[in-house]
Structure 1
Amino acid sequence: MPKRLSKPAKSKTGGKSLQKLRDALAPGWTVAESAKNAPEAPVRAGRPLAIDDIYELKLTGDPQVSPDGSRVVVAVQHIDREANEYRAALWSFPLDGSSGLQLTSGRWNDGSPRWSPDGEWLAFTSKRETEKPQIWLLPTHGGEARQLTDLTNGASTPSWAPDSRRLVFTSTVDPEGYDPEHDVKVITSARFKFDGKGFLDGKLTHLFTIDALDDEAEPVQLTSGEFEHESPIWSPNGKEIAFIANREPGWEMLRTSDVWTIPATGGEPRRLTGGQGSFQSLAWSPDGSKLAVAGVEEVQGGVQNARLYVIGAGSGKLKGLSGDIDRALGDRSMSGPNGPVSGSPIRWTPDGKAIDALVSDRGSTIVVRFESKSGKATVLTGHDRHVTAFDHADGSGELVIAVTDPTTPAELRVVTDNGERKLTGFNDAWLAGTGIATPEEFWIESKGRSIQGWLLRPTGNSAEAPDVPLVLNVHGGPHAQFSPAFSHELQMYAARGYALVYINPRGSLGYDESFAQEVTAAWGVADAPDFLAAVEHVVGMGGIDGSRVGLTGGSYGGYITNWLLGTTDRFKVGVTDRSISNMTSMYGTDDISLVSLDPELGTPWEDQQRYWDMSPLKHVANITAPVLIIHSENDYRCPMEQAEQLFIALKRLGRTVEFVRFPDESHGLSRNGKPKHRVERLERTLAWFEKHL
């Protein structure tokens, strides 16, 4: 078994050397004054953070600025502790900074607010008294909300027509002859289950329109066929609706998707892109002549950085705008959880001269402006933070962003030409007097790559303790990134007296595409040195007991936990969460093998040895550290059998192991599971480290 490294990895940290390295790795863009003057995360001292503080958290969603640019509406989520449920209310805030107004009661989970172009109405989604979320209408000048849709499978993603009368939205449609009382499942599609949704029963998502101002109007189904349709947006002239779909035979086994348009009154869809790419987000130019779209022009094996394109609405001609910026478009950060965000990560500026987009860059998620003709890129918001969503204030040139930093949950801020001003402070009261750890950023050199990481040191009385234990936390994906964002879970380690190290190893997004591709068919092998080097580096920084190092991670982070426990003796204890142990049995029992494992590894019957060589279970006999296994009963992303195999193997080997199963939870338990289950999961994790570390 490989032994732990004896010397700290070569590092570049702090001050000028850190900034120099950052600059050297920066893409070729201009940095605006607003980004240069962005505020730093505030230092917070006081009593240690508590697990129950999760019930105090308020999480802001995507800001939606009124058509006249005077105010913004946002959904704000909180936990109803007694009901063990999530609630969200709609709030309105004037952009001049005066007091906000709560628009809905917060007794339900209201989200996805969308202004009508005339500013008279807010469409939003809410479950309220119905089993599934429906679309509701709220008059903006006073009055009660009224339910607009009443569909069996609910309604979502509302988008207004320019006439402020019609809406387009999505809803799932039952297959012909579907009987909800019949419990035998007859499956013919490769896409038959999905994590967080369960078994799909042949239901498919279609586009619908409705006259929002006619009390008697019924939804009209716009698309047809056995395909999935998403992200509908109405054209500025009201004649067309753009959307994303794959309408090819066998689409459920393909990674491709296209941009389409369809007449708003119904008809045959028209494909704008060539069938070789994959696209996720859309935005019409103000004059309706073009569409901005995020994705890749040609799908290839393995991970690719999503890029920004402009498509001629008539010609379908595709023009790349972000080709020189080798970064992933969109928010690829997963430090969260974040608020109820449902908006697009790309938006045209009101004058139609540029497109603003969320970009993942070196841990941060920032807003970058791309000029529509030249592609020139300008960073509008500062690094060392995580922008989760944004919108434009028409006429003023200002941006409204939802942004979180390491010591502050996401709040709304207004970005001006020269800086920012605070708009909301939902979490100010409970944060006052609470000790929140500020992460220390570091960079190390590992196998020819610069690896970015952060160290959280203990808060409260533990901050003065010499040589504290260390826990390595590994993110999922593998193609994602840790970000300098507020995380109640990560902060709890510091509050309980642990130092916590987390990095973006090779395979992470937020860096050049080749960096993300280095783990292709090399999980655990290519990136393991990055984790080990980071551990040795932070131990070398001082104040940490290098003999007491623990390891944890979820999803791919659970895979790495299993892998490192079986291939090194560096870690004294491990907590593996929603993990992968056997790659061979993973194929076909999860919900995304055909679009995740297939492109990188092929199939297990073509190369069974490769699958087994990449399976942590191959090395299970080498695991001697105590292991806590956490898994959700309804996890379809990393199925329960992965945890069961690992547990039985460790029991058969006589190891110290405990297996905790959470009922009625999916892969997303740590982010959106039942609040009490989230609390218990975290308590059990910390208790395991306390017992064995």
Structure 2
Amino acid sequence: MTVHHMKKTTRGIAAEDLFRIHFVSDPQFSPDGKKVIFVQKTIDHEREYRSHLFLLSLADGSVKQWTFGKSKDTFPRWSPDGKTIAFLSNRSGKPQIWRLPADGGEARQLTFLKNGVRQLCWSPNGRFLIALTSLGKEETLKEHEEKNKNEKEKRKLTPLIVERLQYKSDAAGFRDDKQDVLIRIDAETGEMQALTNGDDEIISFAISPDGQTVAFAANRSEDPDFTFTRDIFLLDIDSGKTTKITDGNGFFASLSWSPDGKMLAAIGHELEYLGATLNRVWTFDIPSGEKRALTANWDVHVGDAMVGDMHSGAPSPGLIWNKEGNGLYFLASERGRVNLYHVALDGTITPSVIGDFHLYGLSIHPHHHMAVAAISDPTHIGDLYAVSLRDGRRDKLTNANEELEKELSFSKPESFSYPSRDGWDIQGWLMKPLHLEDGQKVPMVVEIHGGPHAMYGFTFFHEMQVLAAKGYAVLFTNPRGSHGYGQTFVNAVRGDYGGMDYEDIMSGVEYALAHFHFIDETRLGVTGGSYGGFMTNWIVGHTDRFKAAVTQRSISNWLSFYGVSDIGYFFTEWEVGCNVWENPERLWHHSPLKYVKNIRTPLLILHSEKDYRCPIEQAEQLFISLKHLKRETKLVRFPEANHDLSRNGPPTLRLERLNHIVGWFEKYL
């Protein structure tokens, strides 16, 4: 594509342009390989997310919108004969399965489940679907059908009785004894049958090529609150018999059957480094019971670890077997890239589609060595491409944001490596402000990602482009703890929060000042969310180098985080290395709140009211302490938003958030 970079006739992107962006994802080839159905999400004039299905004809390149209205239509999947598309839609309330004829016509609702449907797949013969829903412990499917549309209004005000350690989730809210259930649905009548009795969490499932066995990954340990494994089970549909094929010490997902049904593949690990363990590609030979980690000797994380604000939540393509059944295609995250690779059953790994971009969606042609991929890069929001699996050649198929991109100039980040204080090699990027003039000195904002086991990289980032358009240089780096640089690197932050990770970031600041002479060293800002918010708090408590800071969905106090976060009781021990009763002094040592007296940098605190990952009390403690000390600070609380505000939160609040960030830096930088 042509990038209109630095043209005076175009402008930089604004925060308000969020409402004009089209988000393209989840391409799916038709069984004959002639068409692709995909999802396009937008924000409508009511400032609400809508997503619809679009059909791409490969014969003439035409794109046609297939569904309309004020709904969220997602997760389209072709029937094996190509005559029907099953998809999820919230047009009747909760997401339900709907059927749409491939030759046109009205969509028909197939399920009426009170808690909706989260995933689906077709049986090989197309006669039924397997789907994932949830039920209360005493509920049955028949009782569960959504016959009363006003049930929410009739619900009595009752207390929440908590007996479990894991009683809430940032994504799902408070638990109410619901459990995941796999169901079999007749594709014509909608008649349903429960296949499982209820599991704590089912994260992946797949049906065998002969249609007789469902593989699923779930936690069936005696006390799931204290175990973090996901075993793989095989369920015989006719008999109902379930067999466990893993040994209780791994975390597996993204299940995929080989074409002959003799092997099952999965992405996962065995928690060797707890939450900092690299994902591998595994295979399980069903007849022999042999399991193998095909990528065990490859020091790269399997899967998409990219941090961004455009494509979060897009369905992962997982593992895709080649048609010969002797290898698999998968995404991997390496040095800021998310690219496509192939691993043979002998462990040979081959790059398939590589480059400085973020490949976030994929469907492989059923007959030819080609695929359709959803790809974004730093100056391109995201589109579908036809890609060759032989040589990686890419041909653009959609222009979802053509009108908007013609109006805009984007700053292209410059990638570089620099040494940290102890000599470790760290990757970073610097975005120049648009229309930089010779001799001009500009402020710089440092962005710090969350996780910390994630990575920045070659993807479009609206927030950073907004800052560049406003005249800021933007520095972003992958300090130790980030994915993309091997197992030792991603594990190095554990037990050392605020140690060498802090030095990695500050060394990046020094490198940028030494090599980009247009940066004004007296006008530096810093911001980040989640772990990036922790690090922002830590930085301003340990240096006065920055003139302004914005901390988002942050951690300020590990002692209280232990008990209030949905993951605090295990994440604190995994990442800091102890819990509250064994070594509270260590938790306090790593808490930014301990150093609040040192904070002289004007600090804006942004936090969501329904953030259960880093609850808002973390922000409140920091804000009250700073106000008590009469320091320059402001707290902005976002209602009806959770930890995911910057990526998938309510559109109006996403705009408010961006405007507060820009406004704070404009005031102080």
The TM-score, its normalising length taken from structure 1, stands at 0.91
Choose which of 598, 618, 621 in structure 1 pairs with 2:573. Answer: 598
Q: Which residue in 2 is equivalent to 1:22?
A: none
Choose which of 12, 20, 32 in structure 2 pairs with 1:68. Answer: 32
Query: In the aligned structure 2, how far is the partner of 1:232 from the partner of 1:301?
Result: 23
Query: In the aligned structure 1, how far is the partner of 2:375 from the partner of 2:246?
Result: 33
Q: Which residue in 1 is equivalent to 2:150?
A: none
CA contact (8 A) 2:494 2:574 kept: no
**CA 1:635–1:686 in structure 2 vs 1: closer, same or farther (change >3 Å)?**
same
Q: Which residue in 2 is equivalent to 1:645?
A: 621
Choose which of 359, 362, 383 in structure 1 pairs with 2:332. Answer: 359
Q: Report the AA paired with residue 111 of structure 2.
A: T
Comparing 290-299 with 560-569, greater Cα deviation is found at: 290-299
CA contact (8 A) 1:255 1:299 kept: no
Q: Report the AA paired with residue 506 of structure 2.
A: L
Query: In the aligned structure 2, how far is the partner of 1:72 from the partner of 1:258?
Result: 33
1:325-344 deviations in Å (ceiling 9; x for gaps): 11111000012321652243
Choose which of 123, 128, 140 in structure 2 pairs with 1:161. Answer: 123
Query: In the aligned structure 1, how far is the partner of 2:350 from the partner of 2:407?
Result: 37
Q: Which residue in 1 is equivalent to 2:289?
A: 316
Q: Which residue in 2 is equivalent to 1:404?
A: 376
**SS of structure 2 residue aligned to 1:248:** coil
- The aligned runs of 1:211-610 (5 Å cut-off) are 211-214=186-189, 217-265=190-238, 267-338=240-311, 341-372=314-345, 374-416=346-388, 417-418=390-391, 419-446=393-420, 447-460=422-435, 466-540=440-514, 541-600=516-575, 601-610=577-586
**SS of structure 2 residue aligned to 1:170:** strand
Q: Report the AA paired with residue 576 of structure 1.
A: T
Query: In the aligned structure 2, how far is the partner of 1:570 from the partner of 1:676?
Result: 33
Q: Which residue in 2 is equivalent to 1:5?
A: none
Query: In the aligned structure 2, how far is the partner of 1:651 from the partner of 1:112?
Result: 47
Comparing 39-48 with 467-476, greater Cα deviation is found at: 39-48
Aligned length: 649
CA contact (8 A) 1:367 1:380 kept: yes
Comparing 299-308 with 482-491, greater Cα deviation is found at: 299-308
Comparing 538-547 with 298-307, greater Cα deviation is found at: 298-307
RMSD of Structure 2 on Structure 1 (CA): 1.7
CA contact (8 A) 1:255 1:595 kept: no
- The aligned runs of 1:196-207 (5 Å cut-off) are 196-207=171-182
**CA 1:410–1:44 in structure 2 vs 1: closer, same or farther (change >3 Å)?**
farther
Query: In the aligned structure 2, how far is the partner of 1:307 from the partner of 1:386?
Result: 19
1:595-646 deviations in Å (ceiling 9; x for gaps): 4223332311111111111100111100001000000000000001000000
Query: In the aligned structure 2, how far is the partner of 1:102 from the partner of 1:316?
Result: 46
CA contact (8 A) 1:61 1:339 kept: no
Q: Which residue in 2 is equivalent to 1:98?
A: 61
User: Identity of aligned pairs, percent?
Assistant: 40
Query: In the aligned structure 1, how far is the partner of 2:604 from the partner of 2:490?
Result: 29
**CA 1:300–1:268 in structure 2 vs 1: closer, same or farther (change >3 Å)?**
farther
Ranges in structure 2 where 5+ consecutive residues have no aligned partner:
145-153
Comparing 472-481 with 183-192, greater Cα deviation is found at: 183-192
- For the pair 1:175 / 2:137, whether they are aligned, the reply is yes
Q: Report the AA paired with residue 307 of structure 2.
A: M
State the 1:449 CA deviation: 1.4
**CA 1:688–1:204 in structure 2 vs 1: closer, same or farther (change >3 Å)?**
same
CA contact (8 A) 1:206 1:230 kept: no
**CA 1:336–1:325 in structure 2 vs 1: closer, same or farther (change >3 Å)?**
farther
CA contact (8 A) 2:4 2:410 kept: no
Q: Which residue in 1 is equivalent to 2:101?
A: 139
1:15-71 deviations in Å (ceiling 9; x for gaps): xxxxxxxxxxxxxxxxxxxxxxxx897746321211111111111111111111111
**CA 1:266–1:471 in structure 2 vs 1: closer, same or farther (change >3 Å)?**
farther
Q: Report the AA paired with residue 160 of structure 1.
A: W
Q: Which residue in 1 is equivalent to 2:637?
A: 661
Query: In the aligned structure 2, how far is the partner of 1:463 from the partner of 1:207?
Result: 60
CA contact (8 A) 2:335 2:485 kept: yes
1:347-394 deviations in Å (ceiling 9; x for gaps): 11122121000100001101110012x111111112210000111001
Q: Which residue in 2 is equivalent to 1:89?
A: 52
Segments of 4+ moved more than 6 angstroms:
39-42
Choose which of 83, 89, 100 in structure 2 pairs with 1:120. Answer: 83
CA contact (8 A) 2:4 2:409 kept: no
Query: In the aligned structure 2, how far is the partner of 1:363 from the partner of 1:75?
Result: 25
State the 1:464 CA deviation: 5.5
State the 1:102 CA deviation: 1.2
1:62-99 deviations in Å (ceiling 9; x for gaps): 1111111111110000001x322100110111234521
Q: Which residue in 2 is equivalent to 1:14?
A: none
State the 1:473 CA deviation: 0.4
State the 1:201 CA deviation: 1.1
**SS of structure 1 residue aligned to 2:500:** coil
CA contact (8 A) 1:236 1:288 kept: yes
CA contact (8 A) 2:181 2:199 kept: no
CA contact (8 A) 2:308 2:647 kept: no
State the 1:433 CA deviation: 3.0
Choose which of 16, 23, 45 in structure 2 pairs with 1:52. Answer: 16
State the 1:413 CA deviation: 0.4
